[in-house]
Amino acid sequence: MSARSLAIWGLLWTGGVLAADTVIDASLPPEARGRAIAEESERRDSGFGDTVTELTMTLTNVEGRERTRRLTWQTLEGTVPNEGDKSLTVFHEPRDIEGTAFLSHTRIDGDDDQWLYLPALKRVKRIASSNKSSAFVGSEFAYEDLLSDEVEKFDYRWLRDEACGDWACFVIERRPRYANSGYSRQVVWIDQEAFRPVKIEYYDRRERLQKTLIFEDYRQYLDRYWRAHIMRMENHQTQKTTVLSFSTFEFQTGLSERDFDPSVLRRVR
- Which amino acid makes up residue 16? G
Whose Cβ is closer to other proteins: residue 15's or residue 182's?
A: 182
Whose Cβ is closer to other proteins: residue 168's or residue 179's?
A: 179
> Interface with other proteins by CB under 8 A: which residues?
52-54, 59, 61, 67-68, 72, 74, 93-99, 111, 113, 121-138, 142, 179-180, 182, 204-205, 247-250, 253, 257-258, 261-264, 267, 269
Report yes or no: 38 and 221 within 8 Å, Cβ to Cβ. Answer: no
User: What b/e readout covers 74-90, taking b as 16+ CB neighbours within 10 angstroms?
Assistant: bbbbbeeeebbbbbbbb
Whose Cβ is closer to other proteins: residue 33's or residue 229's?
A: 229
- Alpha-carbon distance of 254 to 5, in angstroms, equals 20
Min dist CB 235 to other proteins, Å, is 10
Min dist CB 53 to other proteins, Å, is 6
Q: How far is CA 124 from CA 16, 44, 170, in A?
A: 45, 35, 42
Residue 257 neighbours by CB distance under 10 Å? 13
Whose Cβ is closer to other proteins: residue 212's or residue 235's?
A: 235
Whose Cβ is closer to other proteins: residue 19's or residue 179's?
A: 179
Reduce the DSSP state of residue 204 to 3 states and report it: strand
- Alpha-carbon distance of 115 to 47, in angstroms, equals 26
- Alpha-carbon distance of 82 to 13, in angstroms, equals 23
154 phi and psi angles, rounded to 5 deg = -135, 160
Min dist CB 64 to other proteins, Å, is 13
Min dist CB 41 to other proteins, Å, is 25
Min dist CB 249 to other proteins, Å, is 8
